[in-house]
Amino acid sequence: MTATVLPTSDALRTRALAALAGLGAVVPEGTGLRARTPITGTDLFDLAATTPADADAAIATAAAAFLEWRHTPAPVRGALVRRLGELLREHKAELADLITIEVGKIRSEAAGEVQEMIDICEFAVGLSRQLYGRTIASERPGHRLAETWHPLGVVGVVSAFNFPAAVWSWNTALALVCGDTVVWKPSELTPLTALGASALLARAIAEVGAPDGIHQLLLADRVVGGRLVDDPRVALISATGSTRMGREVGPRVAARFGRSLLELGGNNATVVAPSADLDLATAGIVFAAAGTAGQRCTSLRRLIVHEDIAEQLTERLVAAYRRLPIGDPFADATLVGPLISREALDRMQRALVTAVAEGGTVLVGGEAHDEGTHPDAAYVRPAIVKVRAHTATVRAETFAPILYLQTYRTLDQAIALNNDVPQGLSSSIFTRDQQEAEMFTGAGGSDCGITNVNIGTSGAEIGGAFGGEKETGGGRESGSDSWKAYMRQATNTVNYTSQLALAQNVSFLAAPDAG
């Protein structure tokens, strides 16, 4: 059953207003959009939605601000992001409150999301002095050949509900440091978090004297988001969401020769080898599969266990799942909060029915809780399903806490199962065999953008590039050299002689006019 008595909608509304006030944000009263909480499944506020005309004006404002911002020295741009990071640190609790209220994340995960925002700001501040180009040896005497990086333009950020603030910060911190301006269209499920984060950035902009228009917020539905996708003034669309959404966004941006950075679905697997530390594996698996109620793009959805240890590990996991405290995400004891909606619960339970029809066995979980007290909320015990084959249901991503368990005999078989899905975001292996670890992470191993050893599939640090292959979209955000997606590259050849020398020894010199 649930871990605690759930708060009332009135209590959550009061807490949301207090958090917004602490962040310097107000609720834009009006119609067209509703702020909702999955904790009780009820609406909290009616909000004024951004109209198509408002969206066009916001893009125009950002495009005009870019003309000034791109000339601001990068370290000065970094000062803005530094101040944002400081404000996030000061107001971590308030922003985490909004995330918990709108997403249902437990407190430690909501606070961890804000910490991720702080971390990416620190990364971006350092980056502001490291937007390095390179000098290249020229084949022509008296010539300098170089590569330089320049601001790209307006960056459109379309974010999903499950990380309503962190993904925005990944994009915004890097884009601002790179000299771009940002127009943000958050999920319509998380407008309060967007208002709070935007208010902190607006305060930072005012305090450091940056141009007012460099960040714009669109609180709207998919139709208005489509205007952002289709507008030629938007140089880059960074979109996080489902593969279905990516199939729509990618071609539309490509049709206007814009750039897109897509972070789409994941159907992530963990391999557990015979040599694995089962205590470590159990802890890592349970967090990766049940954390955030299975609503991370990196959530563990497929468990591939060696035959020799399958029974032992299964017993551990089933026991751990039965002990998971489910309920109020604000309560310290809770480990699993609600799903985002009743529709998400319905999709989960339909997937379980299909998996059983395909020959699977539900070992634990899948039952809903608190339907009587909160009929519109969606609390469910995470499920483990033992499957006999890699069916269509297993190969599809269900955005809910379902873990499909199957066995393997050889590592080659395990790697083949890991790769036998359309998605390619995250993967991991638990093993104490160095050779197995190297094979899994090597060129012939996992085909995912993230390959971990002795940790689960979720919980990436901001220092590494985040993203995946295949239907995950191929984009990279956050750390490493992901900043290059937000800039344009130029190759410069400078001739500092009085002679014209052509590359490849081409001769094309007309005789001078003797006049």
What does the alpha-carbon distance between residue 7 and residue 14 come to, in Å, rounded to a whole number? Answer: 11
SS3 118: helix
For β-strands 154-158 and 234-240, DSSP reports them as: parallel
Q: Are 231 and 59 in contact (CB under 8 A)?
A: yes
SS3 category, 306: strand
Q: At what angle do helices 74-90 and 166-177 cross, to 10 degrees?
A: 150
Own/partner pairs, 345-352, CB within 8 angstroms, 24+ separation? 345/378, 345/380, 345/400, 347/398, 347/399, 347/400, 348/380, 348/383, 348/398, 348/400, 348/401, 348/402, 351/393, 351/396, 351/398, 351/400, 351/402, 352/383, 352/385, 352/402
- What is the DSSP-derived secondary structure letter of residue 454? S
> Which tokens go with 452?
């971990």
Residues annotated as catalytic (active site), given as ranges: 263, 297
* 261, β-bridge pairs: 238
Token pair for residue 110? Answer: 């909501």
> d(Cα 117, Cα 115) in Å, to the nearest integer?
5
Identify which of 44, 41, 100, 13 has the alpha carbon closest to the alpha carbon of residue 371. Answer: 41
Partners of 240 in the β-ladder: 263
